[in-house]
Each structure stands twice: as structure tokens, then as C-alpha cells.
Amino acid sequence: MSSISHQMAQFALNLKYEEIPADVIKEAKRFLLDSIGCALAAVRNEDMQAMYRFTEKLGGSPEATLIGTGAKTNAPNAALMNCLLTRALDYNDIYWEQDPSHPSDLIGAALAAAEANGKDGREALLAIVLAYEFEMRWCHAAEPGVREVGWHHATLTQFVSPLVAGRMYDLDLDQIVAAVGISGSSHFTLGGVVAGHLTNMKNTADPLAAQAGVIAAMMAREGYEGPVEVLEGKEGLFEVLNNVTWRPDWLLKDLGEDFMITRCGYKAFPTEALTHQPISAALQVCRENKIAAEDVAQILVETTTRGADILSDPSKFTPKTKETADHSLPYVIAAAVADGNVLPDSFSDEKLGDPRIWDLLSKIKVVADPEIDALFPRVKRARVSVTTLDGSTYTAQVDHAKGSPENPLSDEEIIAKFRANAEGVISPQRQNKIIRDTWAFDEIADLGAYMRLLVAE
């Protein structure tokens, strides 16, 4: 019996573009446009400017283009920078079953590896599809998910990125298996990067795991080897991380028959995924009942244990940084009630000191509801009750946040989100060109020309 990584590599090697259903290709294009918009919105952030400087100091062969600046570097450096730009605002996609993941964290690696190897749009789309198929299956592979026992989902991304990059580097079967072994031996990530007071590493962990796959593919191409049974072998993943029940059949389940990408969700808010239902409920109850921030006496948020614990610990009631605020359930609820929405500028320095938001923070209580927990992760319910100064209480309950497959974004809404993110970074004319070229991405022969469209003006 061949190893699991061998069987995954076989699929990555053999998948043909013509075998991918049209709706799957369409979804890959939609996620590409959404991710490019998220990246463009982040290019002028202070932390991204620091990473641009860092990337420039690394140097590297000019083979792949950086979003924002248009500078060229080697594929691993471009993968890290472009994946990080996509991730920086916590505004890209989300899939959450036993484990959470953001498969679009890998799009930057797919594009960098594809551009460096002279691939066209069809091959790059195939790489994006591979990223979603494997990343999303990993979300089912452990019960409870590895995040529940203290590991970040980048721990699982390290096994996906070499499959994506390996296909773009034209590796043979043994080389792709080696790349999985190389990457999968090196990037186990502590869940502490998204617990308590948060730092830039919250957004950087998964891009580093994406970059690791590109490095591993390049090493394997030169003849470097890695453990063949990195998952099921002695002291492999399943044996060492043994406080979960592994379900390895999920990693290969219906590959090539049931494409997972159509089940992934988009983010309507630039915040941690489990805040979306509570935000939606808070907005609904305030809009339906015409409640302003000044009318509020108390806000009760009923959510999962995770939402009440990790997203509402004491540090989340006094957020000092964007990274903490966009993972703070109390802060995003306060921002939603104060401003009628949660947008990227909800985490500006000015907003982090907004007295209207801070006044609401002291009125918010977050509790775990056992019935909601029992539904999770199949249904990610949240309930928000707002009590006004006159003693009236109004409640809204939301099971499916906007952007989820059950409550999807239309093409027009994807485009509107892209334009809002790209505004002030590139002109409307350039936005139009990017939209047209993304919808026709399978006709692109020169990826470098597409990437040059993504330079800030």
C-alpha cells in the first residue's frame, strides 16, 4: 500500500485542467479576484511595508512578481509576501469544519511558483484548485480539529503547499512525495499565535507554511529527499499529535469527483471567522429596531465556547492593536453597533481609540451557549440581544453569515468587495482590466503581465 502522501501526490500530478468542472473553475476565479482585492487593500499597511523592506533585503532571482510594488524576487520570497498580503486584513476566505482554514492563503504560492516556471493561467488555476481540495480536506481529518488541542492550521497547510508548488515545478511523483516530507517535517505551528494578545504572526503563520512548500518543491527538484510516510509513519504526524482522532480517509475522499472549493466561504467582514455570525446578528437587530450606539444599555452575545473563550478573553475587551481587535468579539460587536458595519478602517489607530466603541465595550457580555456548541461546527449559530436604555430587549439569531455557501456572495458582490479594497490603490480603469482578466484567467498566456496589473499606482 502506497503512503498517503504518495496518493495525494499522484492526484496532484495527474489532474488535468479539462477534468475540472466549469463551476469549480469559476469558483477558483472568484476566489482569485477576492484574494487579489484583499492583498491590494493591505499594500500600504505599516506591517506590510516592513515586510516589503525585509523581502528586498533577502534579494533573490527575479522570477516572480510582488503584488503592490511590482518588484521581482525568487518564488519562495514572492510566495511569502503575496500570501501575507492576502492574509493581512483577515478578509480573505474561510472554511471551518473540525479545523478552520483559509485556502486562499495558498494562492500567492500558486501564482509565484507558476510565474517562476512560465506556466499559463490554466495551470495556475489548476494549482489553486489543488490548494482548495487538499486544504479543505485537512479540515475534516482530525476530530476534534488540531486547533482544539493547541495547534494552528498552518500545521496542516505545510502538507498542502508542496503539492501545489510541486505541480508548478513539474516534479515527478517521487519528487512531490519528497517535497511533502520535507515541508511536513518543518512547520508545526503553535496555536498561541492566535491566542491572547495577538501580534503580526497571527497573519504570518500560514503564509510561512505556504512558502515552505515552494522551498520544499525546489529542494526536491534538486534531488533532496524527505520522509515518505510523514503522516502515518513512525513518529509521523498521526503518531506524534495523538490527542485527536485522525480520519486519514478524508484526505483522499472523492478526490477528482467531489471538488471541495464550491463549499468554501467568503468573508463579508475583515475579522476572525467566528465573529461573522455575531456581527451579522448585531447589525440585524440594530437595523431592524433602529438602535443607535447611544441607545444601548447592554449587549448579550451568545456563541460557542471558543467565541466566549479565545475571542473574548480579558485582552479582547481592551484591544490595543489591529491584530487583537479583529480577533476580539467584543470589539467587532461594538464597532458594528457604533458604525453600522465592520470594514478595514474599523481597525485604524483612530478607531482603536474611538470613545463610542470603548463605551460600548463595557456594556458587552459574551457567554457560551451549550446548545450552540452542540451545533458546531455544522452550524455556527450566534445570538445577540440588545437592551436599550428604556429597558426593552431585542434579539436576532444568525446561523449562516453573509458569504457562506448557504448565504453566498454574488459575482456582483465579489466585484464590489474587490473595488472597495482596491480603491485608492489602483485606478478604476485598472480595476476594470483586472476584473476582465481574472474572469478570463484561463486565457492568460503571460502570468507576469497579469501580475504587473497589481502594482499600486
Query: How many other C-beta atoms can be found within 10 angstroms of the C-beta atom of residue 232?
Result: 15
- Tell me the three cell numbers of residue 59: 534579494
How many other CB atoms are found less than 10 A from the CB of residue 110?
Answer: 33
- pLDDT tens for the chain, residues 1 to 457: 699 999 999 999 999 999 999 999 999 999 999 999 999 999 999 999 999 999 999 999 999 999 999 999 999 999 999 999 999 999 999 999 999 999 999 999 999 999 999 999 999 999 999 999 999 999 999 999 999 999 999 999 999 999 999 999 999 999 999 999 999 999 999 999 988 888 999 999 999 999 999 999 999 999 999 999 999 999 999 999 999 999 999 999 999 999 999 999 999 999 988 899 999 999 999 999 999 999 999 999 999 998 898 899 999 999 999 889 999 999 999 999 999 999 888 999 999 999 999 999 999 999 999 999 999 888 889 999 999 999 999 999 999 988 999 989 999 999 999 999 999 999 999 999 999 999 999 999 999 999 999 999 9
Count CB-CB contacts under 10 A for residue 268.
20
**Quick one: pLDDT at residue 149?**
95
Residue 288: left (phi > 0), alpha (psi -120 to 50), or beta? alpha
CA distance 381 to 390: 28
Helices and strands per DSSP (H, E), number in the chain:
22, 10
Predicted local distance difference test score (pLDDT) of residue 196: 81
Nearest 5°: CA angle at 409, between 259 and 305? Answer: 80
d(CA 193, CA 422): 28
86 near 99, Cβ under 8 Å?
no
**pLDDT (0 to 100) of residue 195:** 83
Give the distance, in angstroms, between the CA of residue 20 and the centroid of all CA atoms in the same chain.
Answer: 23
Tell me phi and psi for residue 242, to 5 degrees.
Answer: -110, 15
Question: What are the DSSP calls for 335-366, one per residue?
Answer: HHHHHSS--GGGGSHHHHT-HHHHHHHTTEEE
| Grid cell of 393 as nine digits | 430587549
Distances (CA, A) of 447 to 65, 327, 452: 9, 35, 9
